Structure 1
């Protein structure tokens, strides 16, 4: 393939004006070697080479404690995520997500007043929703607000929850009290850790249509607000929790259980939110925005000696100072992944199964034969590597469905190796460290089609091996690809290779590995086997 200077200016323009866009055309040489083409100084040729690609089994487990779910490196609460739901399909099997959180008092040694009695307790869960897709707005002009039987107007705005899975399935959420001590905020928790709970269900809520609503209630007499939900939320009334909160909270007024953090988190150990289903969809929530509100009444005596019992609300603290964790269950019996995900690091696996939340990663290695061919080109023909990309396709037959395919930002790639002492190392790819934040390591193509494909730029990583004046030991070097995003720090820059959304990414996809027979029905189309695509230049 011959590239000229006009195409070089084209790609530079695209990088400046829309580097994050998804393209549906062939990629161009990257900036590490494009200077070789200037003024017609070199010919550019593109060739494909074999790779070894295999499944990396993560034992369906990943860290899901507060440091992984709550994005403590960022100042934005919306960058913190957890996952709820269940999804079952033939390729990966069943995946179900629950969420645990400690509960703290807003203030310690609280005074609930005289003769305090719990009216109700509500857990508010705020899911990620499609804010640009308002489905309906309903208005009830004749609503009666129950506390005081006040004439009011109720406005409900409904939005679809952002889902991955079978969107039309219903889910039922359940809330239980945790019986295990959940340890401290700094303790590491993995996704296969199931904290035990007491048997009674405190409350449940069916999400029948997969939607979430915001509610505003205003008084008819003066239009003042009686109730406003700041954002759409799932409100779970803990109808069976009144006795629990009366006994464990209200009746403990002035006692040691309510006088300090350490005492309280051993007295009331936390809550579990889960689903009863084994199929449906997965959805993300904002854990730092969850609310636990206790409504109660106590005696209020005015200056005339008249006693009234107004309703008061007490908001518990569910935010980041607590221990939080995600618990993920799997059932892969009979799923196709059991056939193909063999972890063959010698010749590669035929299919590659990538899945967030502790599922498989993808490993990619340079075979010795590929490196030797490129070294021969470099040493004999003076061919310099201009661009090197790992191209990977989704599997047209195994992953033919309506589920969204990953975008460019939904995939991460890191470089793994061993140091001089034989200890494993992980880092950004050398392309990223060479080119910095402006560098886009992966581009997605045809994500609205079947198959989609993805190019991961590994130019500098390959040049370091092929064009080195000394023999580089790359026997333990490989790339690790995950369905996740690199997370930013408080200033907006990437926080580091270890900070990703793997812990709460519900995505999955099946890709073509070392399968030379995998192609479209059109026999003229090149098989979609994973390949290293190298553009190299030779001087005229």
Structure 2
């Protein structure tokens, strides 16, 4: 009795430790359940029906997170991620004062960072960046910001404005390009802001100035040498992010000089007058670049200008003062920010990836996010194994304790493809009910959280297990399907089995995002659904299926742990 109690207590302690773990880790595939010391039986189901489905162009407007940059994956091809957003007035019908003149205009978009900062040298802080694919500092590319001339609609006119407008990842050349401006707005002399752009890990500084915009020293006096950065006083530190000095003359004419026209009266009028900004990317050299996931709703777009009150007889020369005016871009479903956006994704598919997609029913499953991506599907029934197990559960009253589905990563070079370093292997996959495009019960029941949001729902799993030495390549992904398997193997109180649904497998960027979106085949106009979080992740992985040619220890496996009654 005492020994049994200790076993149960130890198991409970380890399970609580597992779900409460709040640190980086490689594996969720605990061997506690199924240990030889605990009287459980295991049934391994291998003959599952699994196949890959290409997703083509994907709906990419008003995403919670957007990609910007260039990412080359030697297995899957080249992705170029452009972005277009409407812009809002911070204050409608603004008054800029008498004879306003712009000092400067800047755009700041923060990156996701892993920690506060990793190193500090001579007061300069270097951060570890998250959600950037490729080398952030050597992966340089050209970044162009121009005026967007296409009006991004709220509602679909082909449906009498009854449904929200859908825009797709492949519509840059057909919808956006014919109306874009030709004037380069990020025209700084600093090449890191345009022709040699890169994702800088260093924090950003805003320096102290006087009312006229001149830099001042620690004593508040104007610096004699305005170009000597060492003499400036740091007023504000900002986490690493995109910083672009924008063309002053454009915003002088477009914003400050437009008050009398009525185009700044409210945001409905303004969004048609100024239809937003387009961020375009170009390669500097073949296969060079990096790509970042960004929340543009957190961006700062500020106009710094000088103006005064209108002159009067009593005060013919009123003092001019420095002021700022904010514009807003990006879309956020959680706030009142409703600027329509589109992530425009160009993906040049590699011949090897195309061959893998075309070779249906082969040894591998190709899973890729973004545009021209792919998901995999699994049918649990149809091969006889689960049908037999269902009968045994019913006739022998077995108790289902746990169920885990494991996918092994193909680390070889199939079809002559190059190995992809472990650093760019997707960190997580997501399994869902693909019949109804909803989450599984195991996803819903898992309320575990972590400091890093991407590691939430730890028990549900899907996080990549990697090697501990060498290149630390990906080994496998494991997802728990205990509640789902229980309901399809055991009858409910009414004597019915839960519906046998098709399972979908996709890449995910954020596990907390569980909604679906649309993909479309332009040749057939056929549409389908896929997880939204797959659209906002450009990575891909190749997993082994259960084809007879796959080594037994690498095959797709469903392990079901159960207890037989005494």
Shared fold by TM > 0.5? yes
Write the distance in 2 (CA, Å) between the matches of 1:10 and 1:252: 71
Question: Aligned residue for 1:73?
Answer: none
For 2:527, the equivalent position in structure 1 comes to none
8 Å Cα contact 1:160/1:212 also seen in 2: no
CA deviations over 1:349-395 (Å, ceiling 9, x no partner): 42222223342222121142222332354356655433222111111
Pick one of 523, 533, 556 that aligns with 1:530. 556
* Alpha-carbon distance, 1:486 to partner: 5.7
Q: Is the 8 A contact 1:82 1:284 kept in 2?
A: yes
Worse-superposed segment, 250-259 or 351-360:
351-360
Match of 2:250 in 1: 244
Question: Where does residue 257 of structure 1 map in the other structure?
Answer: 263
Shift of 1:50: 1.8
- Taking a change above 3 Å as real, the CA distance of residues 381 and 274 of structure 1, as seen in their structure-2 partners, is same
Partner of 1:460, secondary structure, is helix
Quick check: 2:206–2:236 contact (8 Å CA) kept in 1? yes
Please tell me whether residue 294 in structure 1 is matched to residue 294 in structure 2.
no
CA distance in 2 between counterparts of 1:340 and 1:495 reads 27
1:30-429 to 2 correspondences below 5 Å: 43-65=40-62, 68-69=63-64, 81-137=65-121, 157-162=125-130, 163-167=132-136, 168-184=138-154, 187-194=165-172, 195-196=176-177, 197-203=180-186, 205=193, 206-208=196-198, 210-218=200-208, 219-222=216-219, 227-238=235-246, 241-277=247-283, 279-299=288-308, 305-318=316-329, 320-334=337-351, 336-342=352-358, 344=360, 348-358=361-371, 359-368=373-382, 369-378=384-393, 383-398=398-413, 400-407=420-427, 410-417=428-435, 425-429=436-440
How far did 1:264 drift?
A: 1.0
Q: Structure 2 length normalisation: TM-score? A: 0.73
Residues 301-341 of structure 1 show CA distances to partners (whole Å, capped at 9, x for unaligned) of: 6976445544433221225221122111111042x221122
Quick check: 1:104–1:316 contact (8 Å CA) kept in 2? yes
Specify the alignment match of 2:14 in structure 1. 14
TM-superposed deviation, 1:270:
0.1
Change (3 A) 1:527 1:182: same
Please give the residue correspondences for 1:483-502 in structure 2 after superposition, counting only pairs within 5 Å. Answer: 483-484=507-508, 501-502=533-534
Asked whether the 8 Å contact 2:186–2:245 carries over to 1, the reply is yes
Comparing 499-508 and 85-94, the one that deviates more: 499-508
Quote how far apart the aligned CAs of 1:138 are: 5.2
**In structure 1, which of residues 429, 433, 442 is the aligned counterpart of residue 461 of structure 2?**
442
Distance verdict in 2 for CA 1:50–1:450, change over 3 Å:
farther
Given the superposition, is the C-alpha separation of residues 5 and 83 from structure 1 closer, same or farther in structure 2, using an over 3 Å criterion?
Answer: farther
Structure 1 residues 92 and 228, CA gap change in structure 2 (3 angstroms): same
Compute the displacement of 1:480 (Å).
Answer: 1.3
Secondary structure, aligned partner of 1:276: strand
Taking structure 1 as reference, are residues 62 and 5 closer, same or farther at Cα in structure 2, changes over 3 Å only? farther
Taking only aligned residues, the RMSD between alpha carbons, in angstroms, comes to: 3.6
Cα distance, 1:453 vs structure 2? 1.4
**Number of the residue aligned with 2:483:** 460
Contact 2:95 2:259 in 1 (8 A): yes
Aligned pair partner of 1:27 in 26, 30, 49: 30
Question: Once the two structures are superposed, what CA deviation does each residue of 1:161-187 show, in whole Å capped at 9, x if it has no partner?
Answer: 432124432233221100101123854
In structure 2, the CA distance between the partners of 1:310 and 1:45, relative to structure 1 (3 Å rule), is closer
SS of aligned partner of 1:203: coil
Structure 2 CA distance for aligned equivalents of residues 113 and 512 of structure 1: 66
Partner of 1:430: 441
Separation in structure 2 between the aligned mates of residue 190 and residue 265 of structure 1, nearest angstrom: 21
Q: Distance in 2 between matches of 1:60 and 1:7?
A: 53
Alpha-carbon separation, structure 2, partners of 1:114 and 1:210: 39
Report how many aligned residue pairs link the two structures.
474
Q: 1:432 to 1:226 in 2, by over 3 A?
A: closer
- Once residues 183 and 498 of structure 2 are traced to their aligned partners in structure 1, the CA distance between those partners, rounded to angstroms, is 59
Cα distance 1:133–1:349, how it changes in 2: closer, same or farther (>3 A)? farther
Equivalent in the alignment of 2:416: none
| Whole-angstrom distance in 2 between the partners of 1:473 and 1:221 | 71
Distance between the aligned counterparts of 1:427 and 1:220, measured in 2?
A: 59
2: CA distance, partners of 1:54 / 1:181: 40
